[in-house]
């Protein structure tokens, strides 16, 4: 069996997706080590997996895009955060490789320095992509603003013009930070966003084609493995059995952003309309919300897996974790994007017909009630999406892909035909 090292950015939303994969590999007899944010190590070790913290300087560089006044400024802040962390990732991951001596690396898409180390190491390595990719393609709207697909000459013109602006901006923010690190490691520079996003031999893409926009061709390295559902678990709260109204689950981001209006508006709008609101506030203090005496529960964290089994609709900021977890349970979603990749999530949910996109500027009690009412009619489509997600394989499919990469390397070293693309039992 092999030794596999996972390296994540300091975000719970990036740790949770790989925990099920790490546990699956461990069950298959591989020796697994997860290097992640210090506050996530308790969960890692509770699964019987070895773990260690990333460099504290990486954690101390806060993702502060929520302070920005507009989406472009938020993008610049986020990309600057990844750039600032990247230089610390070099020595951090190099030290872990020397200590753990892995046979394969799995690194986070937001860890630019770690990706360069992985490529320079000579080891087989994989990238894990827990949100929609910014990889450009013909017919796919430029990533970020959440544009709807438009076919025909007008759509092609829009995508070409705006794509040059948006993709060019992403490249200008990323490549000047990445290339000096690559040069330090003896790697050639990357010159385009597409090149930067396709360096890994394997990309574990934690979604399904039915939530993506169709494109003529995906790179051979991209593997759709379905949503990762390895987040926090727990028993259903005792009070859940006493709730008779239709339940709407409302969630805020685990990474701080200015999204408390989600919970505030839901509490103001939905209990009076016969819905029971279960709100998890995550980065916000639950005591700071004015909840009605009846028809609502507000907690910082609750087990979403248990709640979604009873929910008729989920309201979320558009994080991939909660959005896909809801859909995996056949629960349609109302997505109110607040930033980051959330405009893209909202638009794809709407495009796939499994939820309702509600722009932040239109978030009012009456508009939210209407969106919840509309989403509740999409249960059949959400159930179909749930079946597609289950069929994708999830943790098992991701573990299979990693074992294929390991086997391919073994066969290449032995001078035999590589096995990539073959299903590992």
> Which H or E run includes 198?
none
Q: Which strand (E) or helix (H) includes residue 69? A: none
Domain match, 61 and 178 both? yes
Q: Please, are residues 35 and 52 in contact by the beta-carbon 8 Å criterion?
A: yes
pLDDT of residue 422: 34
CA distances, 254 to each of 13, 28, 129, 289, 300 (Å): 7, 31, 18, 17, 10
- Looking at the fold, whether 271 and 196 belong to one and the same domain comes out as no
Q: What is the pLDDT, as a whole number, of residue 416? A: 52
In a domain, 422, yes or no: no
Do 141 and 207 fall into the same domain? yes
CA gap 326, 346 in Å, rounded: 13
Q: Which DSSP symbol is given to 66?
A: G
Residue 329 located in a structural domain: yes
76-96 residues labelled b (16+ CB within 10 A) or e (exposed): bbbbbbbbebbbbbbebbbeb
- Domain membership of residue 232 (yes or no) is no
DSSP letters spanning 280-326: E-TTS-GGGS---SSSEEEES---HHHHHTTEEEEEES--HHHHHHH
Could you tell me the two tokens for 232?
């926090």
What integer pLDDT is reported at residue 424 of this predicted model?
A: 29
Q: What is the pLDDT of residue 423?
A: 31
CA 110 remoteness from chain centre: 10
- Closest Cα partner for 275 from 297, 305, 299? 297
Give CA separation, 166 vs 143, 153, 163, in Å: 7, 19, 5
For residue 425, tell me if it sits in a domain.
Answer: no
Cβ distance 198 to 129 under 8 Å?
no
User: Alpha helix locations (H) across 133-238?
Assistant: 152-184, 193-197
CATH of the domain at 23: 3.40.50.2000
In a shared domain, residues 264 and 286: yes
Q: Is residue 270 part of a domain?
A: yes
Place of tokens 């719970």: 12
User: Both 356 and 404 in a single domain?
Assistant: no
The number of domains in the chain is: 2
CA dist., res. 363 & res. 273, Å (int): 17
Look up residue 23 and give its two tokens.
Answer: 């546990």
276 shares a domain with 142: no
| Side-chain-facing half-sphere of 212: CA atoms under 13 Å | 27
- Walk across the sheet containing 104-108 and list its strands: 50-53, 31-36, 3-7, 104-108, 125-129, 202-205, 222-224
Q: What CA–CA distance (Å, rounded) separates 217 from 138?
A: 10
Q: How far is the CA of 206 from the CAs of 189, 225, 281, 403, in angstroms?
A: 28, 5, 24, 17
- From the first residue on, what is the mean pLDDT of each consecutive set of 10 residues in the chain (425 residues)? 95 88 96 95 92 95 76 78 94 96 96 97 96 89 84 84 80 90 95 92 96 92 90 76 94 79 94 94 87 89 88 93 94 91 92 96 96 97 97 96 89 57 32
Give the C-alpha separation, 313 to 349, whole Å: 13
Same domain, 340 and 258: yes
Q: Do residue 196 and residue 245 come from a single domain?
A: no
Q: Are residues 33 and 98 in the same domain?
A: yes
> In the prediction, which pLDDT does 338 show?
84
**Are residues 401 and 379 part of one domain?**
no
* Confidence (pLDDT) at 418: 43
Q: Which residues does residue 308 pair with via DSSP β-bridges, in sequence order?
A: none
Please report the pLDDT score of residue 236 as a whole number: 82
- Assigned domain for 418 exists: no
Looking at the domain assignment, is residue 419 inside a domain? no
Task: Tell me if 304 sits within 8 A of 251, measured CB to CB.
Answer: yes
Per-residue pLDDT at 232: 58
Residue 162 domain flag: yes
Phi first, then psi, for residue 299 (nearest 5°) are -135, 160
Q: In the prediction, which pLDDT does 353 show?
A: 97
Residues 329 and 401 in one domain: no
Structure tokens at 56: 């504290």
Give one DSSP letter per residue of 118-151, joined into a string: HHHH-S-EEEEE-S------TTSPPTTTTPPP--
User: Does 402 lie in the same domain as 340?
Assistant: no
Domain ranges, residue 10: 3-226+393-413
Q: Are 2 and 32 in contact (CB under 8 A)?
A: no
- The 8-class DSSP code of residue 269 comes to H
In this structure, the dihedral spanned by the alpha carbons of residues 101, 107, 110 and 113, taken in order and rounded to 10 degrees, is 30
């Amino acid at each position: 069996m092999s030794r596999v090292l996972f390296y994540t950015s300091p975000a719970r939303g990036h740790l949770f997706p790989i925990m099920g994969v790490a546990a699956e590999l461990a069950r298959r007899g591989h020796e697994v080590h997860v290097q992640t944010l210090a506050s996530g190590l308790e969960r890692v070790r509770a699964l019987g997996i070895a773990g260690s913290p990333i460099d504290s300087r990486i954690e101390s560089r806060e993702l502060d895009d929520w302070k920005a006044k507009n989406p472009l400024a938020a993008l610049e802040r986020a990309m600057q955060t990844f750039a600032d962390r990247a230089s610390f990732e070099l020595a951090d991951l190099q030290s872990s490789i020397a200590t753990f001596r892995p046979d394969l690396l799995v690194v986070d898409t937001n860890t630019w320095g770690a990706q360069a180390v992985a490529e320079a190491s000579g080891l087989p390595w994989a990238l894990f992509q827990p949100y929609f990719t910014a990889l450009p393609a013909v017919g796919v709207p430029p990533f970020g603003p959440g544009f709807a697909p438009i076919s025909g000459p007008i759509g092609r013109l829009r995508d070409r013009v705006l794509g040059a602006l948006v993709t060019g901006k992403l490249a200008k923010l990323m490549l000047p930070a990445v290339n000096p690190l690559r040069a330090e490691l003896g790697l050639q520079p990357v010159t385009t966003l597409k090149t930067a996003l396709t360096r890994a031999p394997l990309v574990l893409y934690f979604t399904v084609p039915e939530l993506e926009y169709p494109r003529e061709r995906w790179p051979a390295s991209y593997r759709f493995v379905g949503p990762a559902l390895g987040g926090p678990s727990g028993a259903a709260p005792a009070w859940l059995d006493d709730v008779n109204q239709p339940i709407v689950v409302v969630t805020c981001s685990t990474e701080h952003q200015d999204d408390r209006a989600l919970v505030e508006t839901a509490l103001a709008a939905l209990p009076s309309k016969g819905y029971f609101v279960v709100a998890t506030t995550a980065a916000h203090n639950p005591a700071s919300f004015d909840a009605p005496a009846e028809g609502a529960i507000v907690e910082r964290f609750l087990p979403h897996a248990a709640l979604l089994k009873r929910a008729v609709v989920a309201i979320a900021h558009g994080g991939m974790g909660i959005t896909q977890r809801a859909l995996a349970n056949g629960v349609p979603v109302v997505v109110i994007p607040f930033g980051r990749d959330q405009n893209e999530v909202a638009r794809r949910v709407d495009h796939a017909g499994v939820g309702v996109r509600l722009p932040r500027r239109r978030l009012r009690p009456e508009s939210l009630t209407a969106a919840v009412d509309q989403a509740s009619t999409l249960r059949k489509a959400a159930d179909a999406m749930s079946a597609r997600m289950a069929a994708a394989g999830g943790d098992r499919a991701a573990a299979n892909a990693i074992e294929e990469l390991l086997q391919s390397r073994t066969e290449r070293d032995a001078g035999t035909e590589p096995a990539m693309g073959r299903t590992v039992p």
